[in-house]
Chains A and B, each alone.
Chain A
Amino acid sequence: MPTVNVGRDRLYEALQQHYSEEEFDELCFDFGIELDDVTTEKAIIRKEKHLQEDTLEDEEIIYKIEVPANRYDLLCLEGLARALRIFTGKQGSPTFSLSSSAIQKMYVQPETALIRPYVVCAILRGITFNQARYNSFIDLQDRLHQNLCRKRTLVAIGTHDLGTLEGPFTYEALPPSEIKFVPLKQRMEFTAEELMDFYKSDLKLKKYLHIIESSPVFPVLYDSKRTVLSLPPIINGAHSAITLQTKDVLIECTATDLTKAKIVLNTLVTMFSEYCEKKFEVEPVEVISSDGNATIYPDLHVRSLEVDLAYINGYIGVSLQSKQVIDLLNRMQLPSEATIGSNGKSKIKALIPPTRSDVLHPCDVVEDVAIAYGYNNILKTLPRSLTQGKQQPLNHFSDLLRSEIAMAGFTEVLTWILGSEAENFWLLNRKHKEHTGVIVGNPRGSDFERVRASLLPGLLKTMGHNKDSPRPVKLFEVSDVVLLDNTKDVGAANERHLAALYCNTTSGFEVIHGLVDRIMEVVGISNAAVGDTKGYYIAPSNEPEFFKGRQANIILNGSCIGSFGIIHPQVLANFDILDPCSVVELNIEPFL
């Protein structure tokens, strides 16, 4: 969930109301966002730089607010404050419009299809910036780049002082050596080729180089005087850099995903057109593709979504009239009207503004009705349908077995399912076999390399880390391991195992053997003669993880379901265990 940092005092000013921290926390909760943290600007910087210092009294208080990942209209103070003002009834939803004055043009060259096919643009006229607004503008672009734009791979944003440029504009893709300009924050001219090198050492920009660096052509935007606007997704030109004095802003978004480019553009203009001379008015730009098709951007059209009133009431569990629903939706920036459907039933027609790209389905409208109504205000009722409770037999059986093992004096442990390759193979003296286990593709460290196929490493590690526990130590675990399985759609399946460990100055081999007998006794399996196909018997084995002559397989109804034995001294040494141990591990699924 993305967090937005907003200055508390600026926020309260924009909300036209002062709240205590508790009151604001509750307001956020009601609206569906969360006040995550209260800190100061300097504290954030200190944390980033890992410095230790005390907060000074006069530092600006910053609220860190967590917003849903699909609400791009809440990623800046402007959007947040607006949403909360409308939610608390202080204002109605704004209506966005396109100005009809002379339209700037952006021509798209065909080569752009090789690297970054789409571009959308818009202009904010007569805007007034101050330092705070400017910072907010930059922050929003950063946030969008990180989230929706997937670190600039899908969409890249460029913003420019239109006063320094002259249209019409072109969006081209050229060999890097042919692109030459002074990039932002520099004084010298660079070719795009040189910039790839130059930014290799720039902490912020080096992570975006890979997006274009191996392409024969780089995307670039020019104005009619061949001034470079930007080299997306890397850097803007210094020439058109925005200052606090800028009055007209050109926004261009280049992209590999047109849907997301439109959402990004809409977010920027709807948020910041409130600072334009004509509030909430955006000047459009015509984008002409290489095949001659022209489209006007931004696309600020309002969608309508019809929802049955009965659907809304049934879903939430309330009985609201159309008028009540409309009042609630107005507070959520979804202005609506009541209509009658073709079936004669009452419907609500919700008008979805361009700020709400998260509304995809009538259920999203219903959710907003519920939030505005207040989840805590919904009356709790008993459900009307009859269902029966039912346990999974394997889980029921596991719990019965766990109790029996605990009653036998063993202590339950809960160990990691993920582990290293070493502890799953050679630390157990087990040979590395192909196709035996599940391998993690992107482990963060060696502790996350493998998914366990046995409960032994967990028990042995636990023992190795608790050497000072009073003797005897008796541990057990009943839990899943994962084995490869070609009959399953994903290629792997869980298997429920039971494992127990005994550690003392003596090996306790007969204790573990006794536990095996006890397990069979409580499950109701009788001891049989060697070779019988009904009941269980013990057959000596010869596995490397156990001590020679003190290990055996457990045969149930003719098949081996597990084994027990004294752990081999080499394995004990591998796990840093100083006393002899005996263990048992068996698959309990055959019991069912």
Chain B
Amino acid sequence: MVALSDKEVTKAQHVEEVILSHLQTHEEIVNSGEFAKANGLEHDLLLSVVQSLHGFNYVEAQDIKKEAWVLTEEGNSYATLGSPEVQVYKAIPLEGISREDLQKKLDVSVFKIGFAKAMGNKWLETKPLVSRKVSNVEDQVQQQLVHIRNGQDLAAADIDALKKRKLIIPLIWKGYSIRKGTSYAPKRTKAATDLTREVLQRGTWKDLVFKDYNYNALGQPTEGGHLHPLLKVRAQFREIFLEMGFEEMPTNNFIESSFWNFDALFQPQQHPARDSHDTFFLQVPEKAQFLPEDYLQRVKEIHEHGGYGSIGYGYNWKREDAEKNVLRTHTTAVSSRMLYKLAQDGFTPKRYFSIDRVFRNEAVDRTHLAEFHQN
């Protein structure tokens, strides 16, 4: 609904007042169209005002419908100038006239339609010249059209004929008959929708009528920010770990060397398990610059020959493979760094946890992504 301008509001209010005060002294407004005419009101405006009054039960409105006929543009021209067949008839002099000359005398469409119609009515003789066959004719069509224009009725057969010639079209007129409604009052009081500071402080709230609130509609949606659902879950997991006495590991390093990601965790080089993680290797920075040398030697020894009770893997361990940087495939890579550090710093009992992103170079499908979170 477009908001009304102030000028429009006052016009509507005036119409409202006229209707309501009229109904004070009269039972009914029989025909809204006549009423509007009688009171100098715009009928369309009156209709919308009645609808609004009806909505609040100030009035009761009954639909009335009238079908009327109006002239088309063509019909209008014939009502004024006469039907084309009569125009043609009148244009023929007593002595007759050639077809071409006759054509020149008249409007193209008038001649075309009129000549055919006149011939059909048997008013004309065409040989040797076009001449009048009958001495005079009555322009019934023009009379009918004028009748319509004046708002008078016609016989159904005539109406059909005019309709067929597309000289008239139907016009449906809608209006109301209006009576007092259940909440009738001579003057409309505005229903309030909300308790405002103004009426509160003025005290006028006591006199107000409140519009019914629609409890079946939804309320106003809340505005505001949001936290990401996955991260909300992450926060809860963090709390659980912390409550159980776990210490968070620093996992803010996505780039990891193969040494910490695989070798230090006893995952052998060249083994399917290492590749099946489907790793992202890096072009820049391609290799780790430093690795803990003495630890590296011990790791190499265990892979190749075993130790600490293990028989090892029995293959040639290559330093170049350990140096290759990757996007870490699991946060266990951080665990291996933490365990090394713990051994260096001096052992105390520890519980570690982490929740952060890892990367796998796998085909993305509906349950697998290239990046995801891991505990």
Interchain CB contact under 8 A, A395 and B280 = no
**Pick from B225, B235, B311: contact of A361, CB under 8 Å:** B311
Q: Does B351 contact A (CB under 8 A)?
A: yes
**Pick from B246, B291, B309, B314: contact of A387, CB under 8 Å:** B246
CB distance from B276 to the nearest CB of A (A): 7
- Which residues from chain B contact A411 at a C-beta distance below 8 Å? 225-226
Please measure, in the bound complex, the distance between the C-alpha atom of A435 and the C-alpha atom of B283, giving whole angstroms.
11
Q: Does A521 contact B (CB under 8 A)?
A: no
- Which residues from chain B contact A443 at a C-beta distance below 8 Å? 280
- Pick out which of these stretches binds chain B: A192-200, A425-433, A490-498, A579-587: A490-498
CB distance from A157 to the nearest CB of B (A): 16
Interchain CB contact under 8 A, B255 and A406 = no
User: Which residue in chain B gives the minimum CB-CB distance to A493?
Assistant: B253
Interchain CB contact under 8 A, B252 and A480 = yes
Tell me whether A69 and B246 are in contact in the complex, defined as CB-CB below 8 angstroms, given that A438-B282, A492-B285 are known contacts: no
Interchain CB contact under 8 A, B282 and A441 = yes
Interchain CB contact under 8 A, B230 and A414 = yes
Please measure, in the bound complex, the distance between the C-alpha atom of A70 and the C-alpha atom of B272, giving whole angstroms.
9
- Which residues from chain B contact A377 at a C-beta distance below 8 Å? none
Q: Does B224 contact A (CB under 8 A)?
A: yes
CB distance from B339 to the nearest CB of A (A): 15
Please measure, in the bound complex, the distance between the C-alpha atom of A476 and the C-alpha atom of B224, giving whole angstroms.
13
**Pick from A405, A413, A491: contact of B285, CB under 8 Å:** A491
Q: Does A528 contact B (CB under 8 A)?
A: no
- Which residues from chain B contact A435 at a C-beta distance below 8 Å? 284
Tell me whether A387 and B285 are in contact in the complex, defined as CB-CB below 8 angstroms, given that A406-B227, A407-B225 are known contacts: no
Interchain CB contact under 8 A, A442 and B245 = no
**Pick from A389, A413, A414, A444: contact of B241, CB under 8 Å:** A389
Interchain CB contact under 8 A, B311 and A386 = no
- Mark A399-415 against chain B: 1 for CB-CB distance below 8 A, else 0: 10011011111111110
Interchain CB contact under 8 A, A484 and B253 = no
Q: Does A315 contact B (CB under 8 A)?
A: no
Residues 356-371 of B at the A interface (beta carbon under 8 Å) = 357, 359, 361, 363, 370-371
Interchain CB contact under 8 A, B290 and A418 = no
Interchain CB contact under 8 A, B350 and A418 = no
Which of B248, B288, B290, B363 gathers most chain A CB within 10 Å?
A: B248
**Pick from B223, B252, B311: contact of A360, CB under 8 Å:** B311
Tell me whether A417 and B244 are in contact in the complex, defined as CB-CB below 8 angstroms, given that A443-B280, A474-B225 are known contacts: no
Q: Does B96 contact A (CB under 8 A)?
A: no
- Which residues from chain B contact A439 at a C-beta distance below 8 Å? 282-284
- Mark B231-247 against chain A: 1 for CB-CB distance below 8 A, else 0: 10001001001111111
Q: Does B203 contact A (CB under 8 A)?
A: no
CB distance from A306 to the nearest CB of B (A): 9
Please measure, in the bound complex, the distance between the C-alpha atom of A68 and the C-alpha atom of B357, giving whole angstroms.
25
**Pick from A360, A403, A448, A491: contact of B280, CB under 8 Å:** A448
CB distance from A369 to the nearest CB of B (A): 16
- Which residues from chain A contact B245 at a C-beta distance below 8 Å? 386-389
Q: Does B131 contact A (CB under 8 A)?
A: no
- Which residues from chain B contact A392 at a C-beta distance below 8 Å? 248-250
**Pick from A69, A412, A438, A493: contact of B284, CB under 8 Å:** A438
- Which residues from chain A contact B312 at a C-beta distance below 8 Å? 360
Q: Does A523 contact B (CB under 8 A)?
A: no
The 3 closest A-B CB pairs, nearest first, are A491-B285, A406-B225, A361-B310
Chain A: residues with CB nearer than 8 A to chain B? 1-2, 69-70, 146-148, 150, 154, 257, 259-260, 303, 360-363, 385-392, 394-395, 399, 402-403, 405-414, 416-418, 435, 437-444, 448, 451, 474, 476, 480, 482, 484, 486, 488-494, 496
A-B contact pairs, 25 of them (CB 8 A): A69-B276, A154-B270, A362-B309, A386-B245, A387-B247, A387-B349, A388-B245, A389-B242, A390-B247, A391-B248, A395-B248, A406-B225, A407-B225, A418-B327, A418-B370, A440-B283, A440-B327, A441-B282, A442-B361, A484-B284, A489-B290, A490-B285, A490-B289, A490-B325, A494-B253
Seed contacts A391-B248, A402-B227, A482-B255; 15 additional CB < 8 Å A-B pairs: A146-B272, A150-B272, A363-B309, A389-B247, A391-B242, A406-B226, A409-B225, A411-B226, A437-B284, A438-B284, A451-B255, A480-B254, A491-B255, A493-B252, A494-B253
